Amino acid sequence: MERHITDFLYLISIVVFIFGMKGLSSPATARKGNLTAAAGMGLAILIALFSPAEGSFDNHIWIIAGMVVGSAIGLVSAKRVAMTKMPEMVSLFNGLGGATAMLIGFIELKNYQPAVISTVKSLLSNGEAANLMNGEVFSSIFALIIGAVSFSGSLIAWGKLNGSLRDNIKLPAPQIVNLVTLTAIIALSVMIMNGEEMNFALLLILTVLGLFYGVAFVSPIGGGDMPVVISLLNSFTGVGAAVAGLIYGNNIMIIGGILVGASGTILTVLMCEAMNRSLISVIIGGLGSSGSSSGSDREEVVKEATPADLAIQLKYSERVVIVPGYGLAVAQAQHVCHELEQSLEAEGVDVKYAIHPVAGRMPGHMNVLLAESDVDYDKLMELEPANDAFNNTDVVLVIGANDVVNPAAKTDTGSPIYGMPILDVEQAKNVIVFKRSMSTGYAGIQNPLFFGERTKMLFGDAKASLGKLKEELNNA
């Protein structure tokens, strides 16, 4: 009877969690959906605490203490992390989820040996050799590998996002290294499952190889492709959680892990389509390796704009499109940008935002940033509608974006971003680029858009520049 009640409560928490996930599909309901999903997961945790599995130890004090410490760290860190650092925090949190799956798999495999030996001795009567090839061992090995890859890969992604590992790690022949490592992981897994008892040395080697593969397949990937990597690692962690649920027979872990893994996989596919990449190339570490840009030998001339002149131009425009990028987030200029949008609309100007799928440092980064400043979601245009609208746009304001508007992606076969769909802002009548300097973007290549016939540069901090522009517009 108690088991039925537990299953029923788990079902309720799963339904609540699914409704929360559904709410995340729209920015208008994302906050409510996030809280709903958290409530469902909180209910599942309480059920697990008060309905422990058979044979478990009475270790509630340790569990609750760990929850209190972890919650405190998460609460403090989340409040102190700026929006520009949010992708790094997501990578770290995702890595911790992978580490959990890795430790679960490792401990279950390490403690499996005594049970196997006693079971084998009691069941074997015909002298055949025993092995560990069963569902529990397979699930534990899978959780160990997936968790290890997610953990180490997320740490490398975190290092790349904050710039400390951007060019520091360079593995020779990364595709070959990845394939050899994968082959070794599969071979070791088969050896462990075909063994008569658990080999602790092989288990340690398998764990190290899993951690190394996470480093090996993330390290060659260019910074411009980080959104794809983050969503892929997120799906890995979800799969790891689902497999851990299979080990313990916990339905909420299975369902929750499947949902996270499936949504991460779907997002990864969408990101690959947006980047015009192959998912296989992500797995073997082939992104961002197209080579260096061929560049141009002719002298390029940059035309500068002033806030006063730009204010007049904007005041008499009919349509203006704003393209936000990571520079907007760094300058914390989203609120001033929204105020400029409101000032333009007061002048009768139609203002929209063009959002590239991989703008920023993680999927949806710009959407979250603009939602924080209360920008109406209906004003946000995705890649294709935005490209259709640029021909009829008077002014495009590119604020802190670089690689997602780089025409080299279409024309320079030697560019690392060649083939990536971009926002065709050069099709607009006028393009104004907000930048601190002429430095390259995250992909490390120069942007020929900056030297275009219709392009002018407005140098300086994005927040300060937008503030001056708004002031000039109000006084015009």
- The residues that bridge with 457 in the sheet, in sequence order, are 304, 433
Provide the CA 81 distance to its chain's centre, in angstroms: 16
Residue whose entry in the numeric block shows the structure tokens 């806030």 = 307
Q: How many alpha carbons lie under 13 Å from residue 85 in its C-beta half-sphere?
A: 9
Provide the CA 411 distance to its chain's centre, in angstroms: 28
Catalytic status, residue 403: yes
Choosing from 297, 309, 394, 403, the catalytic residue is: 403
Which amino acid belongs to residue 394?
D
Encoding tokens for residue 372? Answer: 């924080």
Encoding tokens for residue 242? Answer: 């689902």
Taking Cα atoms as reference points, which of 428, 389, 103, 368 lies closest to residue 247? Answer: 103
Q: Which residues are catalytic?
A: 403
